[in-house]
Amino acid sequence: MTAFVAKRLLAAIPVLFGLSVIVFLMIALIPGDAATAILGSFATPENVARLNADLGLDRSLPEQYGLWISGVLKGDLGQSFTLNRPVLDEVGQRFGATLILAGAALVLSSVIGLLAGIVSAARQFGWADRAITLAVLVGISVPSFWLGLILILAFAVAWPVFPPSGMVAIYGGGGPLDVAHHLVLPAVTLAVVASGVIARLTRTAMLEVLRQDFVRTARAKGLSERRVLFGHAFRAALVSVIPVIGIQAGFVLGGAVYVETVFQWPGIGAMLVEAIAKRDVLLVQGGVLVVAASYVLFNLAADLAQALLDPRLA
């Protein structure tokens, strides 16, 4: 297992390096001039040229990338121009809120998706299977931002049960229950698509396992259907489903950008939208790099969990 972990970690290094190059080029090639956006009404040619020189934006792209990545390797993502604070501090603060939202959505989507997939496979071609299949198709087809607006209209305006925006109440909020209350609508919005994908692939994996000989043997021994499904078939199918959950972890983390904007959740997605509008290049690069690196680490964790369940994969 140690060799497997070391191999996966080494394989992640070139992936992270490639991500850093892609992130840098994507931001660097965005039309517009960061110095002009920062200076605003003071953007005279002389001031723009001076600021570009101070920020190193007058250098070639390879030189700019070298300066940026050398700072990243030292744990320095630069200074935010608009916030006048280190990018690492701002990203760290915002990323915590995003992890709360993405973590809640992932847990919710995994529980719903796994249970729906098991029921759908156990009742293949029955009314439950058809109802779940229809719900999955609708769920994975609905845009997250549209669903978020519908949920706000339904449960925050027409029937004011949950708050429509923010992470805590403006007055007298901040406790765990307050955060959980604000978390319900955005977490459900973010979990819908992921739960549909997990349910569909869980159904496929379960149907494949249920046709195998060891399941027939378990039934022939007189074991209850529930024990056959959860004690034997699900454990075997979970090996195939875990990588899907790892991919969906990255999906909910990336999809949080849209959901956070709709619900004004103070996470890294909302931060990126504001930073892009203000051309805060270093803040955008730092935020996108952290999200992309987290996606890689989530998939690495899924691979390790899969290897623990099935040592033959290590």
User: Which tens digit of pLDDT belongs to each residue from 81-124?
Assistant: 778 888 889 998 898 899 999 999 999 999 999 999 999 988 88
pTM: 0.84
- Domain parsing of the chain, residue ranges: 2-73, 91-313
User: Which tens digit of pLDDT belongs to each residue from 221-252?
Assistant: 887 778 888 877 888 888 888 888 888 888 88
| pLDDT of amino acid 186 | 94
**Residue 40: pLDDT over 70:** no
User: Which tens digit of pLDDT belongs to each residue from 144-187?
Assistant: 889 999 999 999 999 999 998 888 887 766 688 888 999 999 99
CA 309 – CA 239 distance, rounded (Å): 6
Domain at 91-313: CATH code: 1.10.3720.10
User: Which tens digit of pLDDT belongs to each residue from 55-75?
Assistant: 677 777 888 888 888 888 888
